Chain A
Amino acid sequence: MPLVEGISFDLTIIWAFVIAFAVLVYVILDGFDLGLGMLFATERNRRDRDVMMNSVAPIWDGNETWLVLGGGGLLAAFPLAYALILPALYAPIIAMLLALVFRGVAFEFRWRSGRRRWLWDWAFILGSALAALAQGVTLGGLLQGINIDEAARQYAGGWWDWLTPFSLLVGVAVMVGYMLLGACWLVAKTTGDLQARMRRKALVLMVGTVIFIGIVSIWTPFLQEGYYLRWFGGWGTGLAVAVAVAVLALGAALGASLRGKGRDVIPFLLALGLFILGFGGLGVSMYPYIVPTEVTIWEAAAPRNSQVFMLIGASVLIPIILAYTAYAYWVFRGKVDPEAGYH
């Protein structure tokens, strides 16, 4: 690789960060629109539902593209991990894909279906809920470890291995967290009664999210010895305390912002903060493994020339993508105005 000779930083670590970044952006962005889909169930008024849908209609497709980047990027940068994780978590991943089919088409279909609109409203609600649950179960299933045959480079477990109390717990936790994001998004994008209801719901969901973060965080170190040592050995304990304090502080600030009169976008940003903290915690637990605790990022990494070739494109294109994604959000900024249609 004459192109990068002499450069000492580790491309595998860079790629691990790129994939983690794609997954984090996905979780944040599709998180709020999946959460909004679940909150659809609690809002029966048609106009409120239209406002909710319209607040994400121009951007949901871009949000979901980060999932494709997560999957495609994993195949490209860590092919072995892709080949081990997907068969191991077959059922939740297929369920997630099919759920995303339902809720994705609902954006278009509900405007075209006349009297059957309720059908696609429910496709939107249930699709969003199942996708969120399946994503959480997938995360839980990965965290608790996967049974692999190292020599054959293949998954060696059965097709129900993923199903444990822990993975289900993480599934529910992700559902609650996504609903929190969705409610905070709607606080930012709506006005009046709908916004007031979302403030109240977000408050409850914030408490739920913090509790679930607590339970998952306490449970995780006992899943694998590596996690335990990471969090309770050496500098880990200090970090654990710091993270716990940060989560509680963010939760308190979020609660205050939901009850206060500050700018309507603040709760959403604070909820993002909670997710970023949680995601960072996951990273601390898993590093340096990509399939805990069997395969490290280096063992799963694509060869160096693949990494280089992709990094050239990624380093140019990802900033451009972020720029025009930000532009699209900016174009559709501000409140969804339910009155504008009359004039």
Chain B
Amino acid sequence: MLGSFDAVLLARIQFAFTVSFHFLFPAFTIGLASYLAVLNGLWLWTKEEKYLALFRYWVKIFALAFAMGVVSGIVMSYQFGTNWSVFSDKAGPVIGAPMAYEVLSAFFLEAGFLGIMLFGRDRVGPGLHMAACLAVAVGTVMSAFWIISVNSWMHTPAGFEIDAETGQFLPTNFWEVIFNPSFPYRLAHTVTAAYLTTAFIVGGVAAAHLLGHRRKNRPATAATRTMFSMAMWMATIVAPVQIFLGDQHGLNTLEHQPAKVMAMEGHYESHPDGAPLYLFGIPNDETQTLDYAIGIPKLSSLILKHSLDAPLDGLDTVPDDEQPPVGIVFWSFRIMVAIGFAMLGLGLWSLIARFRGRLYDSPWLHRAATLMGPSGLIAVLAGWITTEVGRQPYTVYGMLRTAESAAPLDAPAVGTSLVAFVVIYFAVFGAGTVYILRLMHHTPDLGESRLKDAVEGPYRAAGITPAPGEAERIKKGAPNAAR
């Protein structure tokens, strides 16, 4: 298959590209929607201006990221058919229903209340506005529920039979389809990852502003401090939870997709009396060996089987044509785990600084937090690469091969659209990322809430246009004006 760029490989690259790009946005907005609901709730409850300032600060960034998530998500809902039509025909009777439920119970909820959340505070009053914020937050999590269910079914299919005539998967029990064996683990791990991702972005932005204030010898604003503190509490509490959930997810994978765990661990060979935990190595699928391996003896057996001497099978027990590509899975898994432990470390570091009363006065902590701002996004992508590449060579694990799932398209058609996706995604979402970074560059201070939204574009009650002369003010760089 690697000999030439055939249509299936191009379709795989295209799906990997579009879904990876897409998932960056929900990975951020799932957590951010909840954070905004919390901020708005705190504002209504305490009436402390800093919470409103933070809400207004992050809601602008949310709107940008959400819009990019929406448009890249619409693409996904059609990619199943355009590029994976055989999969869609065969698996559609099973996965179509949960996907329809995602649209009905999540997408409409988010989209319907997003307008009120962004524009409607003055129109509907604080109570209904709060309800809209909650509806958007609940919608993002509901969306994760359904789509992770579908994805998990592809890893651990259950509750179906195969139609002898058409080869379609026919649902026999939708409860088993939705709550398939890997679903609870994957959902918990993914949603927690989204919350951590957001916490580290928020913490990174706050830390960068703390450093900036320090450089300029100005005291940090209350909003910046609060933002940093909230983010670091999340890191302290949620990072260890996430490592535990990841471990549980791994054990579940060992039970249902042992070949994936073998690839993650770099275990080409079976280890009848205790398998080592390889920290480093160069996987070589040709020779089926892990070259230059550095490992800790028996630790893998301890983690996976809770016994030092427990035997663990290797890829030598799996036929060649049922093995996932080890190199990608091995490395993406290590990147994810390394980031996970770095997050844990930062959380503990911040906890120590907090107890010493130096949370806002630890430049090295702030540098580390700034550096780790985008780490959640990288970890999330690495995790998805681990699990999705680890599912190969199947789309529906053990049941339907990837090569037999693709649409009957010519390579030039898929190649052309792939190039179009790559060029346009980098241009459009690159620009969007620049705009988000620009917004993050502003300091979240009380001015955010007092400045009567003068130049904030559409973030006011709809139907109010910017006053004339605003463009000039923007050009002149009016204080606190959103650029």
Which residues in A have some Cβ–Cβ distance to B below 8 Å? 46-47, 50-51, 53-55, 57-59, 61-62, 64-65, 67-69, 71-77, 79-80, 82-87, 90-91, 93-94, 97-98, 100-102, 104-105, 107-114, 123, 153-156, 158-159, 302-303, 305-306, 309-310, 313-314, 317-318, 321, 324-325, 327-328, 331-332, 334-338, 340-342
Given known contacts A72-B100, A109-B432, is B82 in contact with A324 (CB within 8 Å)? no
A-B contact pairs, 17 of them (CB 8 A): A54-B458, A57-B115, A64-B74, A69-B107, A72-B77, A82-B89, A83-B86, A86-B407, A97-B74, A98-B424, A104-B67, A109-B432, A112-B64, A112-B438, A302-B96, A305-B170, A324-B108
Residues in A with CB closer than 8 Å to B100 are 69, 72-73, 75-77, 310, 313-314
| A324 in contact with B464 (CB, 8 Å) | no
Q: Is B102 an interface residue (CB 8 A)?
A: yes
Report how far A50 CA is from B110 CA in the complex, Å.
24
Q: Is B413 an interface residue (CB 8 A)?
A: yes
Residues in A with CB closer than 8 Å to B124 are 331
Report how far A65 CA is from B80 CA in the complex, Å.
17
Majority secondary structure of chain B interface residues (helix, strand, loop or mixed)? helix
Cβ 8 A contact of A90, one of B110, B417, B432, B464: B417
Report how far A62 CA is from B482 CA in the complex, Å.
26
Q: Is B103 an interface residue (CB 8 A)?
A: yes
Majority secondary structure of chain A interface residues (helix, strand, loop or mixed)? helix
Size bracket of the B interface: 35 or more
Residues in B with CB closer than 8 Å to A324 are 108-109, 112-113
Within the complex, what minimum Cβ distance (angstroms) separates B177 from chain A?
A: 9
| B463 in contact with A337 (CB, 8 Å) | yes
Within the complex, what minimum Cβ distance (angstroms) separates B174 from chain A?
A: 5
Q: Is B104 an interface residue (CB 8 A)?
A: yes
Nearest to A153 among chain B residues (CB) is: B89
| A325 in contact with B171 (CB, 8 Å) | no
| A71 in contact with B78 (CB, 8 Å) | yes
Report how far A110 CA is from B72 CA in the complex, Å.
18
Contact with A along B409-434 (1 / 0, CB 8 A): 11011000100110011001001100
| A64 in contact with B70 (CB, 8 Å) | yes
Given known contacts A64-B111, A75-B88, is B456 in contact with A111 (CB within 8 Å)? yes
| B89 in contact with A79 (CB, 8 Å) | yes
Residues in A with CB closer than 8 Å to B460 are 341
Nearest to B123 among chain A residues (CB) is: A331
B119, B425, B456, B482 interface centre (most CB from chain A within 10 Å):
B119
Cβ 8 A contact of A310, one of B70, B97, B109, B461: B97
Nearest to A157 among chain B residues (CB) is: B408
Tally of A-B residue pairs with Cβ under 8 A?
283
Which among B292-300, B358-366, B465-473 touches the partner chain?
B465-473
Nearest to B84 among chain A residues (CB) is: A83
| A57 in contact with B458 (CB, 8 Å) | yes
Given known contacts A75-B88, A154-B86, is B462 in contact with A54 (CB within 8 Å)? yes
Report how far A86 CA is from B109 CA in the complex, Å.
27
Report how far A153 CA is from B404 CA in the complex, Å.
13
Within the complex, what minimum Cβ distance (angstroms) separates A333 from chain B?
A: 10
Residues in A with CB closer than 8 Å to B475 are 114
Residues in B with CB closer than 8 Å to A156 are 408
Residues in A with CB closer than 8 Å to B439 are 112
| A86 in contact with B82 (CB, 8 Å) | yes
Nearest to A190 among chain B residues (CB) is: B463
